[in-house]
Structure formats: structure tokens, C-alpha cells
Amino acid sequence: MQLLVWIFVMRIVMLVASAAAYFINGLIAKARYSNVDEMNYEAPLTSLVWITSAVSIAFTYVVSSLIIRRWAAILRNGGNSPLSFLVAPWLAPSFRNSSKSSPRRNRVMSKKSFAPRKKAVLR
């Protein structure tokens, strides 16, 4: 579930990063080429690619670290984190239900549980 949420958040972040890079590149191109008589039209496109790459990497790093820190806080506090309402409220109940003292986790496996099961015979 967390991976799916991360993927969609990164998709939104990439859209925001692309738009931000486009406007940043527009400001730089306007400042650099507004008073020039001749220009190479590939130069602003090349700078757009570089700016978009840098902004996308920075946004991805920042947003991923925030999301992962909040998920870690939710896991550490058993879902009772003060940050749990900020990040995916649907994640907190699943963390609360899976406590470390659950009888299913602490159950010792016996030899019977590893024995092959008998096949049911239909008559």
C-alpha cells in the first residue's frame, strides 16, 4: 500500500516539478535572450532539460524523505503518531491492528504445522 501511495505522490511531484522548471526556464530565457538579435533556439530547450532534471531530483528527494520519515514515525508509535493525520490517514488503522504482541506473530510453529496435509477425497 505504501509503495502505491509513494508512486502516485511522485507522479504529482513530477508534474509540479515540470511546471516549476518550465516557469524558471521562462524567466531565465527572457532575461538572457530578450535583447538579443540572433539566438540559438536549442539553447533554451537544453536549459529546460537540465533545469527540469535538477528540480525533479530535488523535489523527489525532499518529498520522499518527508513521506518515509512520517511512515517511520507512524510505525514507531504503533499508528498513534501526531503525524498520522498528515500522511495517508488510511494507513494508521492498519498499523494499529498489527501490534508486535499479536498472538499470531508470537505463535511457535510445531512439527505438525510442517507436516504435509492430507488431500481431501471427494466421493
pLDDT in tens, 68-93: 888 777 777 766 555 555 555 554 44
Q: How distant is the alpha carbon of residue 67 from its chain centre?
A: 6
**pLDDT interval class at 22 (50, 70, 90):** very high
The Cα 27–Cα 33 span in angstroms is 10
Number of domains in the chain: 1
Q: Does residue 113 lie in a domain region?
A: no
Q: Does residue 56 lie in a domain region?
A: yes
The Cα 75–Cα 81 span in angstroms is 8
Q: How far apart are the first and last CA of the chain?
A: 43
Q: Does residue 114 lie in a domain region?
A: no
pLDDT value at residue 113: 53
Q: How distant is the alpha carbon of residue 25 from its chain centre?
A: 26
Q: Does residue 6 lie in a domain region?
A: yes
pLDDT value at residue 17: 95
Q: Does residue 26 lie in a domain region?
A: yes
Range of the domain at 26: 2-95
Rounded mean pLDDT of the chain?
76
Amino acid identity at 86: L
> HSE-up of 91 (CA within 13 Å, CB side)?
24
CB crowding 18-54: b at 16 or more within 10 Å, else e: eebbeebbeeebeeeeeeeeeeeeeebeebbeebbee
